[in-house]
Every structure is written in C-alpha cells, then in structure tokens.
Structure 1
Amino acid sequence: MSDSVIRLSGFYYAYPQNDVLLKEINLSVAKGSFTAIAGPSGAGKTTLCRAMTGIVPTYYGGRYAGKVEVLGEDIRDKK
C-alpha cells in the first residue's frame, strides 16, 4: 500500500483556447511530508495546485489527460 496522499500520473492540462500548460506531470506527495512547488511566473504552479484540488478542469474547463488521485481516489469526476 502506498503512503501517497496525492498522486499525479501522466497529467496534462490546457486552459480553454490555450496550448498545453502542464505536460507529463508525474508527482507523488507522501502523507506527512512537506512539499514546495517553485518556479518562475507562468510556469503552472497555481494550475498544478488547482488540479490537485479538482478545480481544473471542473471550474475552469479546458483539456485534461492523465490521472489525479487524492487519498487513492481519482478526482476526475468529483465536484
């Protein structure tokens, strides 16, 4: 059994009318870990966080591929 609370596998995302912003993201966040997301402005940090909470694509729309799991559950169709 994995100790990951968040896992992204082969994740891609593009906002509506835009090119792909996040490409082939593979990330695992372990329970109890401290994780920082860093990068330049426009790199996709906020979009990545929105994906982990299910806000994209549910609220913002756009194109989405790959898998985002929180506590072992795929959040694709969650509200």
Structure 2
Amino acid sequence: MFEPTVIIAGAALVGLTIVASALLRAWHGWLALKREELERVKDTHDSDSGSSIGAARIELADLKERIKKLEAIASGVDL
C-alpha cells in the first residue's frame, strides 16, 4: 500500500510541524516576558525620576563640601 519512504517522510513532516509550533509558542512567551520586563522598568523609571534627581543634588553638594574640607586641610587652615 504505502511505501516505507512515504511513511517516513510523512512522520518527519508531522514531527517537524510539532517542533516548529512548540518553538513558535515558546518564542511568543519569551517576547511577552521581555515586553513585561520593559514595561516594569519603564514604570519604575517614571515614578522615581524626581527622587533620583534630588539624590544626585545631595550627593553633589556632599562632594563639594568634601572638596572644600580637603582644600582647607591642604592649605593648613583648621575648620
């Protein structure tokens, strides 16, 4: 009836279809995961933008104060 070559080719085609559909489903899942991570990071940056600027200003003021103290020590002036 059917030759073994036709049966093997059909089984290979079915197997290839199953593997391709599984990989495509995994790819869509991975893309959804990455999309969710990007949205989470974007939401975090939107809500924290004001506090990070304030923290940077405080750190900059602290560094300026340290520089003044080091310059005073280098010139021999006691604070």
TM-score normalized by the length of structure 1: 0.21
TM-score, length basis structure 2: 0.21
Q: Greater share of helix residues, 1 or 2? A: 2
Q: Which structure carries more strand by proportion?
A: 1
Larger Cα-atom Rg: 2
| Higher RCO (Cα < 8 Å, 6 or more apart) | 1
